[in-house]
């Protein structure tokens, strides 16, 4: 057999100087099985965490099982201690105390646990032509037409008149009813077809069907609405006025599932950004004696700008860090300036079906590992953190030291749009910050797609970062 042709001088130089991101399945096939196994737990996590409140409950239960104790601002803590703090049932902060003094910096890892959805309006219930409906107000950036005829489940909480708080969940179990937004049949949609795609379904048309049987009393003016109210009252003890004291979210009634003949992908609602949240919490559990204190944060409201007292624009994390600083006798500003943060958020995976909105050389690809995103923002990097070269170098060094396969990426072509993450808020606190997360196909759709290899290597990247 003839020997392989020896590489030319130019080919050798090209190998030495060039760099490309490759599919993990090609260069690290031994990671396929571990990634499949890792994502079994991920799918279970997703099915129990449709909303931010449910996600907090799931994370708290997981943390307790791993030995985390509820944070006590009056306690003393030492290296290796693990504790957690919950803010208003919508944020969780997990801490493992490191070997080094706190003012030498914290390793922050922050993921958000809210996702686009349909929220009920404060006065949502009505009937029209013998059908009972809920009026909705969409939350976050959605493509409204995707939510028509999608089976939905009802999740949330309601505070009753007596002050008790009742959890609501209808539509997740096989024997429970689902809910739906109707859409026109093609035979009658000639005028609707002339609308721009963004108005295929308008916001005020996202009305959810909840019933079609009347309450049996000829003297009742709205019998279909009353029947719906009666059923809710029988199940939860609520009245129509109680909707004003409720947070009710309508989310896709779909379970996380394997996608593809090879089962290489995961399909689920809310993977932006719970996929990073799961990888982050599993990495936090893995690293038990870090050099630097680790603080893993699961935050809310990112999809609407991180507003409110459970979003990263609030002082909630600052106050928690100040409490830590009081315990260890250091100043918060010294801690922040010596810290580093991963804004653990997803990026858009390259979609060859819609290739014209991507710049291929700077896109992330399914199966190529977590995507390191130097900056987000829109157009001229508006609203972006824009990580420094030193920060990029530090994070890349962590990953390569532990043989993590990673890639670089932007969110599409420069003038096509853009998006933001929580990175800028940590940057405002004088913390070196960069985005690192899983590439996602069909981001913000009712059913998003990710690669199991990417999820697994994101977990490995987070472990490397904490070490």
pLDDT in tens, 378-414: 888 888 889 999 999 999 999 999 999 999 999 888 8
What gap in Å lies between CA 131 and CA 54, rounded to an integer? Answer: 30
What gap in Å lies between CA 349 and CA 135, rounded to an integer? Answer: 33
Asked whether residue 397 falls in the same domain as residue 307, the answer is: yes
Residue 319 in any domain: the answer is: yes
Asked whether residue 273 falls in the same domain as residue 400, the answer is: yes
Asked whether residue 455 falls in the same domain as residue 346, the answer is: yes
Closest CA to 342 of 380, 309, 372, 313: 372
Whether the CA torsion 381, 382, 384, 390 is positive or negative: it is positive
Asked whether residue 111 falls in the same domain as residue 172, the answer is: no
Asked whether residue 134 falls in the same domain as residue 210, the answer is: yes
pLDDT for res 378? 82
pLDDT in tens, 260-295: 999 999 999 999 989 999 999 999 999 999 999 999
Please state the φ and ψ torsions of residue 107, each to the nearest 5 degrees: -95, 105
**Mean pLDDT rounded to a whole number for the chain:** 95
Asked whether residue 75 falls in the same domain as residue 148, the answer is: no
Confidence band, pLDDT 50/70/90 cuts, at residue 6 = confident
Residue 161 in any domain: the answer is: yes
Residue 322 in any domain: the answer is: yes
pLDDT in tens, 190-244: 999 999 999 999 999 999 999 999 999 999 999 999 999 999 999 999 999 999 9
Asked whether residue 129 falls in the same domain as residue 100, the answer is: no
Cis peptide before 113, with omega less than 30 degrees from 0?
Answer: no
Asked whether residue 294 falls in the same domain as residue 364, the answer is: yes
Closest CA to 292 of 103, 113, 41: 103
Report the number of distinct structural domains present in the chain: 2
Cβ proximity of 345 and 312 under 8 Å: no
Residue 298 pLDDT greater than 50, yes or no: yes
Asked whether residue 429 falls in the same domain as residue 349, the answer is: yes
Task: Give the domain CATH number at 134.
Answer: 2.30.250.10
Domain boundary among 252, 284, 317: 252
Asked whether residue 64 falls in the same domain as residue 178, the answer is: no
pLDDT in tens, 45-86: 999 999 999 999 999 999 999 999 999 999 999 999 999 999
Residue 260 in any domain: the answer is: no
pLDDT for res 416? 82
Cβ proximity of 448 and 441 under 8 Å: yes
Domain boundary among 192, 218, 252: 252
Asked whether residue 53 falls in the same domain as residue 94, the answer is: yes
pTM of the shown model: 0.95
Domain boundary among 252, 281, 299: 252
pLDDT for res 1? 46
Residue 456 in any domain: the answer is: yes
Residue 141 in any domain: the answer is: yes
Residue 258 pLDDT greater than 60, yes or no: yes
Residue 16 in any domain: the answer is: no
The residue segments making up the domain with residue 361 are 21-115+269-466
Specify which residues 92 forms β-bridges with.
86, 298
Cβ proximity of 201 and 181 under 8 Å: yes
Closest CA to 270 of 439, 155, 113, 153: 113
Asked whether residue 66 falls in the same domain as residue 123, the answer is: no
Q: Which residues contact 317 (CB under 8 A, 6 or more apart)?
A: 93, 297, 299
pLDDT for res 417? 77
Residue 257 in any domain: the answer is: no
């Amino acid at each position: 057999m003839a020997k392989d042709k020896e590489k030319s001088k130019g080919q050798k130089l090209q190998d030495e100087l060039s760099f490309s991101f490759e599919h993990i399945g090609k260069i690290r096939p031994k990671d396929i099985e571990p990634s499949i196994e890792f994502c079994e737990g991920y799918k279970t996590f997703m099915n129990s965490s449709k909303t931010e409140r449910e996600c907090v409950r799931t994370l708290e239960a997981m943390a307790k099982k791993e030995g985390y104790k509820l944070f006590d601002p009056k306690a003393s803590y030492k290296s290796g201690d693990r504790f957690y703090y919950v803010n208003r049932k919508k944020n969780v902060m997990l801490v493992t105390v490191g070997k080094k003094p706190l003012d030498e910096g914290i390793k922050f890892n922050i993921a958000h646990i809210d996702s686009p959805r349909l929220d009920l309006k404060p006065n949502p219930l009505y009937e029209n032509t013998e059908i009972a409906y809920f009026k909705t107000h969409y939350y976050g950036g959605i493509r409204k037409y995707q939510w028509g005829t999608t089976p939905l489940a009802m999740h949330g909480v309601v505070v009753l008149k007596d002050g008790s708080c009742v959890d609501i969940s209808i539509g997740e179990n096989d024997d429970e009813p689902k809910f739906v937004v109707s859409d026109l049949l093609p035979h009658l949609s000639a005028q609707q077809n002339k609308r721009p795609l963004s108005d295929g379904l308008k916001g005020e048309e996202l009305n959810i069907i909840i019933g079609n049987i009347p309450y049996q009393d000829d003297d009742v003016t709205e019998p279909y609405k009353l029947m719906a109210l009666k059923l809710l009252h029988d199940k939860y003890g609520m009245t129509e006025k109680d909707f004003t004291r409720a947070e009710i979210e309508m989310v896709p009634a779909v379970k996380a599932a394997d996608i593809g003949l090879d089962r290489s992908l995961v399909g689920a609602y809310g993977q932006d950004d719970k996929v990073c949240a799961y990888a982050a919490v599993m990495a936090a559990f893995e690293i038990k004696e870090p050099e630097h204190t680790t603080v893993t944060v699961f935050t809310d409201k990112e999809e609407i700008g991180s507003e409110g007292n459970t979003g990263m624009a609030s002082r909630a994390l600052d106050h928690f860090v100040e409490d830590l600083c009081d315990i260890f006798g250091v100043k918060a500003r010294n801690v922040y300036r010596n810290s580093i943060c991963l804004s653990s958020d997803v990026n858009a995976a390259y979609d060859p079906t819609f290739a014209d909105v991507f710049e291929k050389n700077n896109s992330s690809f399914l199966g190529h590992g977590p995507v390191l995103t130097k900056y987000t923002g829109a157009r001229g990097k508006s609203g972006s953190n824009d990580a420094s070269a030193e920060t990029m170098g530090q994070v890349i060094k962590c990953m390569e030291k532990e043989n993590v396969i990673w890639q670089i990426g932007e969110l599409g072509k420069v003038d096509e749009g853009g998006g933001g993450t929580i990175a800028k808020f940590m940057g405002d606190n004088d913390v070196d910050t960069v985005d690192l997360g899983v590439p996602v196909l069909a981001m913000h759709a009712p059913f998003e797609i990710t690669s199991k290899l990417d999820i697994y290597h994101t977990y490995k990247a987070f472990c490397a970062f904490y070490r």
